[in-house]
Structure 1
C-alpha cells in the first residue's frame, strides 16, 4: 500500500481515473469549495477611509498625501500649476518639448537607468500637460518608493542640456510629420475652438505649440521657461497609498527643500473674445463647433454647467438625453453630436460639436438656435437624471487612485482648498433647475465662437448673427 501511495501518477492513471486518494498528499490538497477549511484563519484587509493631508515646505512647495485604503501600489506625482497658457509666441511649444524629454536626466541617472527603474518597480511613469498644469505621475511597489521618488525629482528638476535639445527638436519634427498624416476634421475642430475663442494668447495657445517655432525649442529656452513659471509656489508633490504622512514628507524634503523660494509673476486673466473660423474642404460632412463662455473652476455655477452637459449628452447618452430627443430624432442630417465644458482657472467654455451632412447643414444650424433657447426650459426630471449620471460617472472615475489624488491636488491649486470627490458630489446635489437657467442665460449673453470645417460652411451662421438670435 505504501508503494502505491508514493508512486507518481502518469498519463494512464489520468486516462483511466486510477488514483490512490487515501494518501496524505492527496487529502492535504483536497478541500471542497463550499466548506470552511478547518483551523484556517484568513487575512482580511478592510478598505479604510482615505485621508488627505497637506504640508508646506519653507520655500512654498506643498506636499499632499492620501492615506492607504486597501493594500496596493504607491502612486507618486508632481503637479505644477503652469502649462500652455503661460507660453508666449517666443516660448510656444516649450511644454510640448519638455513632455518629449521628461525621462532624460543627467545628474544622478540617465534615460536608460530611468527606463530600467520603471520596469523593475512593476509600475509605470509618464508626463502629461494641458493649459493649466504639468503633471508627472507614476506608480510602483511600496519597497521602490524611495528610488522612484529620487527619479521623479530628477525628471522634474534636472537642467536640460544640448542632448535634450536635439532630442526635443527631432521628436517634435516627427510629431508634426505624423500629425499631418493623421489629421481629421474632428481633430482639427478640437484644435481651433480655443484659439478662435481667446486668440493666440493664454488659453488660445495651441497645445503642441506653433509649428514654425521649431528653432526656439532649445535647452536654454526650456530652462528659462521652467525657471520663471515652474516655481516652488506652484509645485505640489503628492503621494497616494501612503501609510505615514510624516515619513513621506521626510522622503520628499531633501529633493525639493533646496529650491529658492521664488514666486511666479501674477497672470493676466484670460479675455474671452468669441468669433468665427471657417474652412472649406472636400468632405461629405460639415463639422461645426458652437461654444460659449461658461463658468470657471472657481465659479459657483460650475457644477450646474457639468449637469447641463449631461442633460444634452452625446451620441451614446440614451433615449432621455436631448442629444437624442431634440436633435437626432428631429434632424436626420446629424452624423455625430458631442457636448463638453472645459473649465479653467479664470474662465470656462461650453461647446457643442456637430457633424452634419452637407445638404442638411442649414436646417440643422437653424434648429440648433431653437434648441439652445429651449435649454432654459429644462425640467426637474431632466436635472435629476443628469445629476445622478454625473455623480455616478465621477465616482467611477475617482476609483482610479492616481486620477483621484491628482484631481484633489489640482483643486488645491485652483481654490486653495484641499478636498476630495465628496465635496464635488455635494455641489452637484445642490444643483437646481434655476441654477441651470442661470448658466444658460450667461452663455446667451456671451458672443459665440463658431468653428466650421467642410463643404457647406456657408450655411453655418457667423458669431454675430447667432448672437443676435440668442439674446
Structure 2
C-alpha cells in the first residue's frame, strides 16, 4: 500500500515540479530533473549548474588541538577546529541540581523546560526557530546534576545568529507567567512518565542510587522536580538561582568545528551584555545565596516498595511488576584522581547489559557479568556495571533486576561479583579480559569523539573542571598503561567503603542493609575472593 502511494507520488512529480513558481537555484535544478527531454542530456561527469562547489576532505598533518581563552569577565572560550560546513557550540554552566540545597528541588528542571522561549529580543520560541532553521540549525538545553547546557548545531554561515540566540536564552530570558505555567505542565507530565513508563525504570534507579550514596547533599539531591514543588517554583526563585550560578566565571563557551578566533570575537560581542536579573532588584531574593559545599559520600539504603504489576511496555508479556530492581554502589574517586582511568577499565571489564542480544542471550558478549551472571543464571534479566564520576566524587555500581522471588539470590550474586574485582584477572579460551576491556574502552572513546556534539560537551566539561582539555591520545596512553595490579589496587580501595543500596519493586526477599554490608566486609577480608559469599552466614 505504502509502495503504491510512493509510485503514484513519483509518477506525478514532473507535474508537481512544473507548478512551482520560483527562480531559486534548487527549484531550477528540480525542474531540470523533472523535464524528460532535459534529463536525457544531463552529464554524469560534469557538475550540475546552480549548485555550490563541493568541498572534499584531504589528508593533512595539521593537528586539531583545543584552544582556550579566558575573557576579562571570566568567561572561558574553548574550541577545536574540524573539517565540515557545520559546527556545534554552546554554553555549559557549572550549575545543576547539586546546587539546589537552599532552593526548592526542581529549579534546574524548570530552567531546562523554559530554555529558548521569550527573551528581551525574541518574542517566543517560534521567533527563535525562524532565526536558526534557515541555517539548518537545532537548539537544545539539557540539565544534569552538575551542569546546565545550552547548545546549537548549525551551519558555519549561521554561527552569529545561533550565538545571538544562545546568549539571549542564557542571559536575557523573560520567564513569562504563561511560560512558567507551561513548564509546570511539562514537568508534571515528565514525572508521570517516570512513574508509569517502564522505559524510565533505569532513570528512577539512577535517582535512587545517587540519593542513597549521597544522602541529602550535592549530587545526591534530586535531578527531577519534586511533585510538591511544582507550584512553589516561581519567577523570583528562578532568577535568584540564575543570578547566583549563571555568572561568566562559572561558564565555558565551547565549540566543535569552529575557528577559535571567530568564537572569541563572538563571545566578546554577545556574552558581555547585562543579564536581565541585574536590571531589577525586585526579581531577586537576597536571602538565597550560592552553595559551596562538596559532595559527602554517606552510603546507606533506599527502598521503594512499588507495585508495577500493571505497568508494561506495549505487548510485552512480562509486566514490570514481575521484576525487582537493585543497585549496589561503592565509593570511588573524582575524574581528577589518578585512579579514574583504572576504575573506568574495571567497569568495562565487568560490562554487562540485558539478557537478550541479537542471536540469543549474551551471544558474543565476553565481559565478566555476561559470563558469570547473565549466561549462567537464566532468571537474571539485566546486570550492568558502571563507574560514575563527578568533579569532587564518584562511585562504582552494579545494577540488576530479576523476578522478585530471586531477589535475595540476585543481591548475593552482585556483591559476590563486587568482591571478586580484587581477585586475579581471568585468562581463558576467550582471551585476557583486561586487555579486551582496555581495547573496548579505547574503541568506545574514539567512536564517541567522531560525533561533534560529544566533542563539544567533552571540551566544555574538561575546561570547566580543570581549565584545559586533555587529548584523546593522552587517554589512550593512560588506558593502555593500566595493569592487573592497578585493577586490584582500585578494587581494594572501593571495597573498603560503605555500600550504598537502592531497590525498587516487590522487595519481600531483599536482605537488610546490615546483612549486605557485612557480607561485603566478610568477602573482602577473605583471602579467597572467588569463593561464594553468603548473606545469611
User: If the length of structure 2 is used for normalisation, what is the TM-score?
Assistant: 0.76
Structure 2 residue aligned with 1:59 = 73
Quick one: distance in 1 between partners of 2:38 and 2:408? 82
Q: Does 2:303 correspond to 1:278?
A: yes
The partner residue of 2:227 within 200, 211, 221 is 211
Q: Does 2:518 correspond to 1:465?
A: yes
Structure 2 residue aligned with 1:443 = 494
RMSD: 2.7
Please give the residue correspondences for 1:418-457 in structure 2 after superposition, counting only pairs within 5 Å: 418-457=469-508
Paired residues of 2:328 and 2:414 also in contact (CA < 8 A): no
The partner residue of 1:46 within 58, 72, 83 is 58
Relative distance call for 1:92 and 1:135 in structure 2 (3 A) is same
Paired residues of 2:114 and 2:175 also in contact (CA < 8 A): no
The partner residue of 1:395 within 446, 452, 474 is 446
Relative distance call for 1:366 and 1:124 in structure 2 (3 A) is same
Relative distance call for 1:253 and 1:437 in structure 2 (3 A) is same
Q: Does 2:272 correspond to 1:257?
A: yes
Structure 2 residue aligned with 1:138 = 152
The partner residue of 1:147 within 142, 161, 166 is 161
Relative distance call for 1:143 and 1:433 in structure 2 (3 A) is same
Quick one: distance in 2 between partners of 1:102 and 1:306? 33
Higher alpha-carbon deviation: 326-335 or 190-199: 326-335
Cα deviation for residue 30 of structure 1 reads: 6.0
Give the unaligned 5+ runs of structure 1. 1-22, 33-40
Paired residues of 1:291 and 1:450 also in contact (CA < 8 A): yes
Structure 1 residue aligned with 2:399 = 353
Cα deviation for residue 72 of structure 1 reads: 2.6
The partner residue of 1:190 within 198, 201, 206 is 206
The C-alpha deviation readout for 1:59-78, integer Å capped at 9, x for no partner, is 100111211x3223022211
Structure 2 residue aligned with 1:372 = 418
Cα deviation for residue 374 of structure 1 reads: 1.7
Quick one: distance in 2 between partners of 1:338 and 1:389? 15
Structure 2 residue aligned with 1:199 = 215
Please give the residue correspondences for 1:277-356 in structure 2 after superposition, counting only pairs within 5 Å: 277-282=302-307, 283-315=321-353, 318-356=364-402
Quick one: distance in 2 between partners of 1:47 and 1:236? 31
Quick one: distance in 2 between partners of 1:303 and 1:158? 40
Please give the residue correspondences for 1:139-178 in structure 2 after superposition, counting only pairs within 5 Å: 139-163=153-177, 164-178=179-193
Quick one: distance in 2 between partners of 1:268 and 1:466? 33
Q: Does 2:134 correspond to 1:104?
A: no
Higher alpha-carbon deviation: 122-131 or 166-175: 166-175
Quick one: distance in 1 between partners of 2:42 and 2:269? 53
Relative distance call for 1:457 and 1:416 in structure 2 (3 A) is farther
Structure 2 residue aligned with 1:18 = none
Structure 2 residue aligned with 1:14 = none
Relative distance call for 1:259 and 1:465 in structure 2 (3 A) is farther
Quick one: distance in 1 between partners of 2:373 and 2:476? 29
Please give the residue correspondences for 1:80-119 in structure 2 after superposition, counting only pairs within 5 Å: 80-88=93-101, 90-110=103-123, 111-119=125-133
The partner residue of 2:292 within 244, 257, 267 is 267
Paired residues of 1:198 and 1:204 also in contact (CA < 8 A): yes
Quick one: distance in 1 between partners of 2:109 and 2:291? 23
Give the unaligned 5+ runs of structure 2. 1-36, 47-52, 279-288, 308-320, 525-537
Paired residues of 1:159 and 1:223 also in contact (CA < 8 A): no
Cα deviation for residue 192 of structure 1 reads: 0.8
The C-alpha deviation readout for 1:269-303, integer Å capped at 9, x for no partner, is 21101111223344322211111111211111111
Relative distance call for 1:428 and 1:358 in structure 2 (3 A) is same
Relative distance call for 1:25 and 1:233 in structure 2 (3 A) is closer
Quick one: distance in 2 between partners of 1:43 and 1:103? 33
